[in-house]
Structure 1
Amino acid sequence: MATDGRNVDDKQKLDENLLAALPQGGEVVSVTPSGMSDYCNTYRIEVKLPDGSSQVFFEKEGSGEEGHGCVQSAWMSESATYEFIPEHVPRPVATGTYKSRPDKHFFLAQFVDMIEDDIPREESYMRAIASLHSRSMGKSPTGKFGFPVNTRFGNLEQDNTWSSSWEEFWTRQMKDFLEKEHAAHNGEPHEELERLRPLFFEKVLPRYLRPLESDGRSITPCLIHADLWPGNVKYMNDGKTACVYDACAMWAHNEVDLGVIRNPRYPLGKPYLKEYWKHVPISEPEEDVDSRNSLYMLRGQILLSTLYPHDPKLREIFVSNMRLLVERVLEEEVAKASPAGQVQFHL
């Protein structure tokens, strides 16, 4: 067990259960806030070891049921991703509940110094992601899509109930996400979204997901990070290796992780997608990959609209992209049913 040697009030000293997770015989010399989190407190903890060296740790701390869910999500997600790409993920150390505060929970990991201002170039960024997907492909503990616990995007719970069908799993998640988005806007009606929603589930999802698992094709679950915006991928201090963290992991179709790469909100885009495809083959049918990429992009856009309902632009962004997908499918249906050259369609 470590000791807290800081000259602070006893109430400010680290909890006994947290100290027990730190190196045996170590002495805590500093605890400082670390990074930004809207839903949990985060800290950098420096520990001096008996041999005179130091180790630094990252703690995420949450209170109550929501805090416990966030901490559990972090522990399970980071442990899973670390198993497959340890060179890119801070080593998870421990998780637990404070002895002094049974309503307060913690996740502890190795602290990694990173270059905050630089977004890794496509080679570094996508090498980490492609490695995660390739190394975990076919190793789902149940052989199904899902995850052992419901993980968190921010503080939004993600239903990870196991399913043998990718279409069924993704449809269920999208219905849940849209219900959460509706609730976050206090049930405020959105005429276009209400018109698009049934078409999205009845037309778009079957059109782009069902072919992945029909006509002899199948999808092999792999572990995905599921929140790969640039705030969660940074260079380590060597300026070459990407550090990937803060996952809300699940076993899924690997292309889901590429949805955020397409999002115009982030300065990534086509060069990063092209780099990924150098390492991982496109799922069949290959001709649908662009539409699937748009479909998977919607997930993050819907969740952002849910987390930040005060910004109406976020809702309009995902509704407009949903509309494009619906129109694409309906136009395709009309083209198949009409003589060549006579396609005219407007939603």
Structure 2
Amino acid sequence: MAKDNRDVDEKVDEALLASFPEGGEVCDAVPLGLSDWCDTTRYDVRLRDGSVQRFFEKRANGQPGYELAEAHWMSETSLYRFIPEFIPRPVAFGTYKSRPDKHFFLLEFVDMIDDDIPPAELYVAPIAALHLRSVGESPTGMFGFPVKTWFGDLPQSNDWEKSWEVWWTKHMSFVVDREERIRGTRSPDDTQLVHDFLTMVLPRCLRPLEAEGRSVQPTLCHADYWPGNIRYKEDNESIIMYDASAAWCHNEVEMAPLRNPRYPLGKPYIKEYWKHVPISEPEEDADSRIVQLASLYPNEEKLRDMLVNLVFKF
């Protein structure tokens, strides 16, 4: 177990000390304030050889906090198994000994540069590698994930399903129902749009993937791959990604933020991805599939217009 001999009022909890390298000594603990949903801290630990290793902690309270920490742990350890060169190494997940209502997820700290969005070839490299290495490796052979994951403070159900169409339709039904609970009753036009999207667009876009002898295999996806979750490392050359909300999905899920008009990515990034990962058949439906995958932001007219056009198309 590591030690905390600092002259401070609040010492590092024993559960964290047990997660640091044996014989290490905490020399600093720096609150970072990097999340709206949990507390974040960087720990500097001096090792027996005199070097200093840094760790990054996320912690949250209560049962939701436990589930959030567990989701981070399961997501990041799953991704690290396939692409360790692109993921900070997960270290531990647990509960404070001094505060049984406080839960944490610990990983190695990586110095990053808050710079411009990486060019297409660098941006898609982690997800292309993840998809190529993980395809067919789902522990159940189905779509889903062992635990529910979280987008911010919003839980995501990940029940296992054999069919991608079934899994994604359930997921989108959950998303639009939650959106209505948060924002209030929809207008008649939006009610019709949601109905047509779920009952017309999704079957038309997704069913051909699993028809006429075709099939799609579950692939491990980061599932929250927007520009805020990828950065240059300190060397300003290599890339690191983080904050996964992982699930075993059809790999095209990762294309949603690339196609979303709120991000300056678009077709050059999608084309770069297709250089590495084959397009699913039927290929002619690929763009429509990606449009329907893009999350519905009711206040964004461009995305809403894209979905309206998709409904009229089918």
Describe the shift of the 1:140–1:174 C-alpha distance in structure 2 as closer, same or farther (beyond 3 A).
Answer: same
* Distance (whole Å) between structure 2 residues aligned to residue 35 and residue 296 of structure 1: 31
1:1-347 equivalences under 5 Å are 1-9=1-9, 12-34=10-32, 36-185=34-183, 187-298=184-295, 301-302=296-297, 313-314=299-300, 318-329=303-314
Greater gyration radius: 1
Describe the shift of the 1:35–1:244 C-alpha distance in structure 2 as closer, same or farther (beyond 3 A).
Answer: farther
Contact in 2 for aligned 1:192/1:319 (Cα 8 Å): no
CA drift at 1:237: 1.6
* Distance (whole Å) between structure 2 residues aligned to residue 131 and residue 20 of structure 1: 33
In structure 1, the residue corresponding to 2:86 is in which secondary structure?
coil
CA drift at 1:67: 1.2
Partner of 1:336: none
- Alignment deviations for residues 100-145 of structure 1 (CA, whole Å, 9 cap, x no partner): 1111100000101111123221111111110000000000000000
Contact in 2 for aligned 1:39/1:67 (Cα 8 Å): no
CA drift at 1:53: 0.5
- Range with greater deviation from structure 2 (318-327 or 276-285): 318-327
CA drift at 1:198: 1.5
- Alignment deviations for residues 64-115 of structure 1 (CA, whole Å, 9 cap, x no partner): 1221121111000000001000000000000000111111100000101111
* Distance (whole Å) between structure 1 residues aligned to residue 286 and residue 203 of structure 2: 14
CA drift at 1:195: 1.3
CA drift at 1:263: 1.2
For 2:272, give the aligned amino acid: E
CA drift at 1:155: 1.4
Describe the shift of the 1:123–1:35 C-alpha distance in structure 2 as closer, same or farther (beyond 3 A).
Answer: farther
CA drift at 1:319: 3.7
TM-score by length of 2: 0.97
* Distance (whole Å) between structure 1 residues aligned to residue 259 and residue 202 of structure 2: 19
* Distance (whole Å) between structure 2 residues aligned to residue 8 and residue 119 of structure 1: 40
In structure 1, the residue corresponding to 2:181 is in which secondary structure?
helix
CA drift at 1:35: 5.3
In structure 1, the residue corresponding to 2:128 is in which secondary structure?
helix
Instruction: Name structure 1 gaps, 5 residues minimum.
Output: 306-312, 330-347
CA drift at 1:318: 4.8
For 2:309, give the aligned amino acid: L
* Distance (whole Å) between structure 2 residues aligned to residue 182 and residue 56 of structure 1: 42
For 1:207, give the aligned amino acid: R
CA drift at 1:320: 3.2
* Distance (whole Å) between structure 2 residues aligned to residue 64 and residue 320 of structure 1: 40
Instruction: Name structure 2 gaps, 5 residues minimum.
Output: none
* Distance (whole Å) between structure 1 residues aligned to residue 35 and residue 19 of structure 2: 22
In structure 2, the residue corresponding to 1:279 is in which secondary structure?
coil
